[in-house]
């Protein structure tokens, strides 16, 4: 019974809302819609999809939505104005172009810089606040971002099946990362393992960018590679 419960729970973590932060079923509403590696219009394009393409919402960031495209084995970002919900409403409003008059008027004069706040305890104005650079460094580290994303994915596996699925993330060079799996990986159905690999690669592409050859390896506790996938 315990084995069956693990299989069902981990399968639900992939097929239902446990993997998706939102889990809503969306539909692509435009033709030649770009699926990007990051939630910004300048990010690399992973592929293009057409009107009517089904998409499963994973998470939102501003007006962008990270989606899983079940018919394409792809995870990426699409602007919300190009996605509709079940009611046919756009997920986000289309970007509003700047008025022509404002564009012709030229840039507005720069506002005077505010005076720096008073320093206490003898700290100079140019000295960084405690903890600030550490947070910025973590946010700018692709492996750190990927590790956080894998931790969130693992939390959903815990919520669905009551077990840890992944325990560690490490960079191994040449655009590759290793994700250490627990013994629970062995009870994930074959299709589920592939779905997890798609999700892991999509999150690694999102964290590192698609301007290089990337690879995700799932390894056991001894470091033996159980499965790997490359992209984009």
Q: What is the pLDDT of residues 1-49, one digit of tens each?
A: 444 445 545 555 554 433 434 467 889 988 889 999 999 888 999 999 9
Please state, for a pLDDT cut of 90, what percent of the chain lies above it: 18
Overall fold of domain 136-231: GMP Synthetase; Chain A, domain 3 (3.30.300)
Q: At what angle do helices 132-140 and 142-161 cross, to 10 degrees?
A: 80
Helix, strand, or coil (residue 56): strand
Q: Which of 118-127, 181-190, 197-206 has the lowest mean pLDDT?
A: 118-127
**pLDDT at position 169 over 60:** yes
The ranges assigned to domains in the chain are 19-84, 136-231
pLDDT at res. 33? 92
pLDDT tier, 110 (very low <50, low <70, confident <90, very high otherwise): low
Q: What is the pLDDT of residues 74-91, one digit of tens each?
A: 899 999 889 988 767 777
- Listing DSSP states for 169-232 in one string gives EEEEETTEEEEEE-GGGGGS-HHHHHHHHHHHHHHHHHHH-SSS-EEEEEE-TT--EEEEEEE-
| Residue pair 79/63 in contact by the 8 Å Cβ criterion | yes
Per the prediction, the chain carries an average pLDDT of 74
pLDDT tier, 96 (very low <50, low <70, confident <90, very high otherwise): low
| Residue pair 78/35 in contact by the 8 Å Cβ criterion | yes
Q: Which of 33-42, 102-111, 200-209 has the lowest mean pLDDT?
A: 102-111
Q: Which tops the pLDDT comparison, 216 or 232?
A: 216
**How far apart are the C-alpha atoms of 178 and 121, rounded to whole Å?**
45
The domain made up of 19-84 is a member of CATH 2.30.30.40: yes
**64-69 and 74-79: which strand pairing?**
antiparallel
Average pLDDT of span 167-177:
89
Q: Which tops the pLDDT comparison, 163 or 214?
A: 214
Q: Which of 16-25, 55-64, 82-91, 154-163 has the lowest mean pLDDT?
A: 16-25
**How far apart are the C-alpha atoms of 152 and 109, rounded to whole Å?**
44
Q: Which of 40-49, 163-172, 174-183, 186-195 has the lowest mean pLDDT?
A: 186-195
């Amino acid at each position: 019974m315990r084995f069956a419960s693990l299989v069902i729970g981990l399968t639900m973590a992939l097929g239902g809302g446990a993997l998706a932060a939102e889990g809503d079923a969306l539909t692509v509403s435009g033709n030649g819609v770009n699926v990007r590696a990051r939630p910004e219009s300048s990010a690399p394009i992973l592929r293009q999809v057409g009107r009517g393409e089904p998409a499963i919402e994973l998470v939102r960031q501003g007006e962008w939505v990270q989606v899983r495209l079940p018919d394409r084995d792809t995870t990426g970002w699409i602007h919300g104005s190009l996605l509709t919900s079940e009611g046919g409403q756009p997920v986000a409003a289309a970007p509003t172009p700047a008025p022509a008059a404002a564009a012709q008027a030229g840039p507005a004069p720069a506002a005077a810089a505010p005076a720096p706040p008073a320093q206490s305890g003898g700290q100079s104005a140019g000295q960084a606040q405690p903890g600030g650079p550490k947070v910025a460094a973590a946010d700018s580290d692709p492996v750190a971002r990927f590790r956080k994303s894998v931790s969130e994915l693992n939390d959903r596996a815990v919520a669905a099946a009551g077990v840890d699925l992944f325990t560690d993330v490490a960079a191994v060079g040449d655009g590759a990362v290793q994700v250490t799996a627990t013994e629970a990986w062995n009870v994930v159905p074959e299709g589920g393992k592939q779905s997890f690999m798609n999700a892991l690669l999509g999150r690694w592409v999102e964290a590192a960018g698609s301007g290089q050859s990337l690879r995700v390896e799932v390894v056991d506790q001894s470091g033996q590679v159980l499965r790997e996938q490359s992209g984009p």
